[in-house]
Amino acid sequence: MHCLVIAGGVADDLPADGKSLGRSDVIVCADGGVHNAHRLGLQPDVVIGDLDSLGDEEREQLQTAGCRFFVHPAEKNETDLELALLWCVQAGISTATVIGALGGRPDHAVANLLLLTDPRFATMQLCLRSREWEVWPVRSEVTITGLAGDTVSLIPISAAVDGIHTQGLAYPLHGESLLRGPARGVSNVMLNTVAHLHIESGLLLVMHGPPQN
Amino acid sequence: MHCLVIAGGVADDLPADGKSLGRSDVIVCADGGVHNAHRLGLQPDVVIGDLDSLGDEEREQLQTAGCRFFVHPAEKNETDLELALLWCVQAGISTATVIGALGGRPDHAVANLLLLTDPRFATMQLCLRSREWEVWPVRSEVTITGLAGDTVSLIPISAAVDGIHTQGLAYPLHGESLLRGPARGVSNVMLNTVAHLHIESGLLLVMHGPPQN
């Protein structure tokens, strides 16, 4: 079952293809993500958070449309996006696309990227998408679909990522390791419309975006 | 000896107080960082990189002014910022402020933040500054100067950060641990103009910025 998770980040960083994203089995909004859902013409199935960003009228309209609410206190240890992803795990979601989580405050952006790598979510295949970028937390493998010349950056999150094998990238890796810190995996380039990567151990962020310059 | 390191990131993310930043013992530019130096009215002492973003005339002017160049090939494993920080280590720099490294492409921003945590730079006290944010990689302690209400986000980079003690934050920590992934350390709040944090083990990014909302 595939889930679209909509966070409350800045609207101008949302992917352009809202309609195709809407073809998910379930649409879950992290609180203010409701506004981003409406911007994309999408109807939330589930809303999670302290609901501080929803007016009474908006809430009634959602309820009438059959939307379910999971309300949490405002003073909590988790972010709304974290609660939404925890809901996905409990609901047995196998793959989820997260949008609305990259633009805006840099601390939120970094925290959201690292949230993807949380072992609690390792049962799901996660992808974070912004207007121009896709990001995957990779523990085993990923297939990237794009255009020749696109950028693919490999960013280790664990202290080391070992046994990296790539296909379809201009600077191929044949079992090498990358360490967290050095920028060696940044700005690789797609040779064609599909690239593939697998790793033997570690935790890697793979970021796919437009060509450099 | 304090060094100002200027990277080639987008100009609108530079700190506003260029003049006070200029009171460093040495100003090192990572290639295109030269343009950011000029925007801030600063004169580079050292330029490092493949120099692909400098015209002949610009290079001559810098040379006449006494600037030193360390030229690296364009096809290299390191980014220009990484080469600039490696130069700092070799030059015996003890503290360095990095600017021009956060705005722009999200893969570069994330890679630059993780570059700060590279053990090769652990001999230096590093701080990355953008227009509104300061970021420190913390292995032992940090003192934060700001305003009551400012945001302080604690983001673990190692799988766990143990024994975190804070002073001057609204949600204090008294020896607790934070794990990489959960967003529990995000959006703490300064109670006054100074906050202090120390950790017993691990690697933590501390991000200080304006109040939330």
pLDDT per residue as tens digits for the range B61-73: 999 999 999 999 8
CB–CB contact B209 A107 (8 Å): yes
Contacts of B105 in chain A (CB under 8 A): 151, 209, 212
Q: Measured between alpha carbons, how far is B41 from B203 in angstroms, rounded to an integer?
A: 35
pLDDT in tens, A54-76: 888 888 999 999 999 999 988 78
Query: Could you say which residues from 180 to 199 on chain B have a Cβ atom under 8 Å away from some Cβ of chain A?
Result: 180-184, 186-187
Q: What is the CATH number of domain B141-209?
A: 2.60.120.320
Nearest chain A alpha carbon to B179: A118
Q: Where in chain B is the domain with CATH 2.60.120.320?
A: 141-209
Mean pLDDT of successive 10-residue segments in chain A (213 residues)? 92 80 90 91 93 86 93 86 96 96 90 96 96 96 98 98 98 98 95 98 98 86
pLDDT of residue A178: 98
Q: Average pLDDT for residues B58-85, to the nearest whole number? A: 90
Q: CATH 3.40.50.10240 spans which residues of chain A? A: 2-131
Whether domain B2-131 has CATH 3.40.50.10240: yes
% of chain B surpassing 90 pLDDT: 77
Sign of CA dihedral A29, A35, A36, A42: positive
Provide ipTM, 2 decimals: 0.93
pLDDT reading at B179 higher than 80: yes
B115-154 pLDDT tens trace: 999 999 999 999 999 999 999 999 999 999 999 999 999 9
Nearest neighbour of A155 by CB, restricted to B111, B186, B187: B111
CB proximity list for B33: less than 8 A, separation 6 or greater = B5, B6, B7, B8, B44, B47, B80, B84, B100
Is residue B41 scored above 80 in pLDDT?
yes
Q: Which CATH class is domain A138-209?
A: mainly beta
Please, what is the average pLDDT of chain B?
93
Model confidence at B176, in pLDDT bands (50, 70, 90)? very high
- Give me the sheet containing B160-167, strands edge to edge: B141-145, B194-198, B160-167, B174-179
User: What is the greatest pairwise CA distance in chain B?
Assistant: 57
User: Does any CB of chain B come closer than 8 Å to the CB of residue A102?
Assistant: yes
Cite the residue boundaries of each domain of chain A with CATH code 2.60.120.320. Answer: 138-209
Segments of chain A assigned E as strands: 2-6, 26-30, 46-49, 68-71, 95-99, 125-129, 134-138, 141-145, 151-156, 160-167, 174-179, 188-189, 194-198, 204-209
